[in-house]
Amino acid sequence: MTTDKRENEIVSFLEGIVGPDYVTTSRFEKIKQSLDAYPYHADMNNLPIAVVLPKTSQDISEILKYANKEKIPVYVRGSGTQLIGASRPDRSGIVIFTSRMKTFDIKEDWGYFEAGAGIRNQEAKDLLAERGYFLPLVIGAKHIASFGGATCNNTSAHLIEPAVGKPGDYILAVEAVLPTGEIIETGTRGIGKPAGTDMTKYFVGGDGILGVVTKTRMRLVPQIQYSYGIACFSELAGIARGVKRMYLEQVPVPIFTEFLDRNVAEIGYTNKGMEAPPGHVIFFVSYDREKETADKNTVKLMDVYKKEKPIYAEPVTDMVRWEKVWTARESTIPFLMNKLQGRLLVCEVVCNLATFEEGMEEAADFNKGVPYLEDLTNYLFGHIGALSFHPSFIIPPDLGDERMWELSRLLYKREAEFNTKYGTCGREWGQFSKRKDFFIMRYGQTSYDLMKKIKATFDPNNILNPGVLEGYR
């Protein structure tokens, strides 16, 4: 059978399930669904056969049953924003784009809500806020990142775990479709997560390799009150000691604690029309159900940081100023890419508390000794309250795909060395893909081989997101 004949058969099968309006073979859509945040082009020799937009878990079950029988690779896309290469198909197959799966149901009587895989994080946040609830999930790409993608990563993102835990701590259950087509529901309809074996764990933070998450059930969390603070230091060591002191003196940990090194702060501030700060900046969001208590928490935090001799440390009550500081952080990378007309390479390094000063210094010198990257500026910012940083580099757009691949490999090799040295791992973007070597370095070949056996049990023909576990991307 010719490739064309086979591909036409696959397309008409998919149209039979979701209707012709929701299957596309347009070259534009195929290329779009083959890209991610990385600066190299789509693999034009391995574009998808078709992109399908299912509406229900039943649709996905039919697709996976067929793909499993025909041994056709299937890739799941929420919005393709993930940053370790997992959302980029590495061979020709079917792409399931979850954007139509937008059910969202707040069940106050039951104490939880249920989000379809295609709901955007920001949509969920707004719908919950309207009803007085807080969403324990805050991703930088919140306007497009999907709920299904966030569930698969179990990403902490901006949220500080010691303050509010991980999204997975609030996820009571998922509905998932296995690579062989069965639809399963995990977990509970109660408000307490199961003790002992809970299949939810295979899908929350499962890196999308064991099943397609079609619905996520999350406990309702009453809305919280915020209070804001900022501090500026001439030396990184002062900031590191301050963060450590915050934990050792057991003051209420803020829900957000962001860091901008002097360089990034200057670019972000001036970009927002503010005067550049005289040093490195750290800014916080304390929280509590009561505003008064949140404000008291901010004062306690300020007292801790003042012991480390900052240039200044003060609560922020002017919300116009706060919005500018926060967006200075959020807009720095897009602004840099624009200003320098370059492409972004970014990774995630995580320190431990005991050796945090050393870790922070090493994060600032992250690219030392890394060929080519050592000649570039390391734009350092991060979720410092969680001891994590994003060393970021702007690379010239004309370097060529092979060189850019090479640089991203060097970046992730260095990230793996760093996180292995401090005994940590990424808390945001997931495992495998560009981090497969890290997984083996950090957890050992035995753990990796076990993961391969688990994958083979769930997906005997390796049709779902193939290449993620193997680290092809």
Ligand X SMILES: Cc1cc2nc3c(=O)[nH]c(=O)nc-3n(C[C@H](O)[C@H](O)[C@H](O)COP(=O)(O)OP(=O)(O)OC[C@H]3O[C@@H](n4cnc5c(N)ncnc54)[C@H](O)[C@@H]3O)c2cc1C
Binding residue (CB under 6 A) for ligand X from 98, 227, 378, 388: 98
Q: Helix-strand-coil percent breakdown of the chain, rounded to 5?
A: 40, 20, 40
Residues in 108-127 that interact with ligand X by CB under 6 A = 117
CB of 444 to ligand X, least distance (A): 23
What are the start-end ranges of the H helices in 340-444? 356-364, 401-421, 436-443
Q: Does 336 bind ligand X (CB under 6 A)?
A: no
Q: Does 392 bind ligand X (CB under 6 A)?
A: no
**What SS3 class is residue 449?**
helix
CB of 331 to ligand X, least distance (A): 10
Q: What is the spatial distance between Cα 235 and Cα 309, in angstroms, rounded to a whole number? A: 10
Binding residue (CB under 6 A) for ligand X from 7, 25, 32, 37: 37
57 phi and psi, to 5 degrees?
-65, -30
Nearer to ligand X (CB atom), residue 182 or residue 361: 182
* C-alpha 156, offset from chain centre: 7
Q: Does 178 bind ligand X (CB under 6 A)?
A: no
CA separation, residue 280 to residues 168, 174, 235, 425 (Å): 32, 42, 7, 25
Of the candidate spans 74-82, 398-406, 413-421, 446-454, the one that interacts with ligand X by CB under 6 A turns out to be: 74-82
Nearer to ligand X (CB atom), residue 297 or residue 465: 465
Q: What is the CA radius of gyration of the chain?
A: 23
Q: How many residues bind ligand X (CB under 6 A)?
A: 34
Nearer to ligand X (CB atom), residue 157 or residue 387: 157
Binding residue (CB under 6 A) for ligand X from 213, 380, 407, 463: 213
Nearer to ligand X (CB atom), residue 56 or residue 234: 56
What lies within 8 Å, CB to CB, of 92 at 6+ separation is 46, 47, 48, 49, 73
Question: How many Cβ atoms are within 10 Å of 8's Cβ, its own excluded?
Answer: 15
Binding residue (CB under 6 A) for ligand X from 83, 164, 265, 386: 83
CB distance 160 to 383 below 8 Å: yes
Angle subtended at Cα 167 by Cα 383 and Cα 37, rounded to the nearest 5 degrees: 60
CB of 137 to ligand X, least distance (A): 9
The region, left, alpha or beta by phi > 0 then psi within -120 to 50, assigned to residue 265 is alpha
Q: Does 139 bind ligand X (CB under 6 A)?
A: yes
The per-residue DSSP string of 290-333 comes to SHHHHHHHHHHHHHHHHTT--SEEEEE--HHHHHHHHHHHHHHH
Positions of E strands within 270-328:
280-288, 312-316
Q: Does 77 bind ligand X (CB under 6 A)?
A: yes
Nearer to ligand X (CB atom), residue 276 or residue 337: 337
- The CB-side HSE value for 270 (13 A sphere, CA atoms) comes to 9
Binding residue (CB under 6 A) for ligand X from 42, 72, 152, 416: 152
Q: Does 351 bind ligand X (CB under 6 A)?
A: no
Q: State whether the Cα torsion 284-289-295-297 is positive or negative.
A: negative
Binding residue (CB under 6 A) for ligand X from 171, 204, 468, 469: 468
Nearer to ligand X (CB atom), residue 378 or residue 431: 431
Q: Does 349 bind ligand X (CB under 6 A)?
A: no
Q: Does 208 bind ligand X (CB under 6 A)?
A: yes
Q: Does 81 bind ligand X (CB under 6 A)?
A: yes
CB of 392 to ligand X, least distance (A): 11
Which DSSP symbol is given to 276? P
Nearer to ligand X (CB atom), residue 135 or residue 304: 135
Of the candidate spans 82-90, 257-265, 284-292, 445-453, the one that interacts with ligand X by CB under 6 A turns out to be: 82-90
Question: How many Cβ atoms are within 10 Å of 450's Cβ, its own excluded?
Answer: 12
Nearer to ligand X (CB atom), residue 10 or residue 86: 86
Nearer to ligand X (CB atom), residue 78 or residue 342: 78
Nearer to ligand X (CB atom), residue 100 or residue 306: 100
Q: Does 149 bind ligand X (CB under 6 A)?
A: yes
Q: What is the spatial distance between Cα 100 and Cα 229, in angstroms, rounded to a whole number? A: 40
Dig out the tokens for 433 from the structure: 């893909």
Q: Does 428 bind ligand X (CB under 6 A)?
A: yes
CB of 124 to ligand X, least distance (A): 12
Q: What is the spatial distance between Cα 174 and Cα 192, in angstroms, rounded to a whole number? A: 14
Point out which residues bind ligand X (CB under 6 A). 37, 75-83, 86-87, 98, 117, 139-141, 145-146, 148-150, 152-153, 155, 157-158, 208, 212-213, 428-429, 465, 468
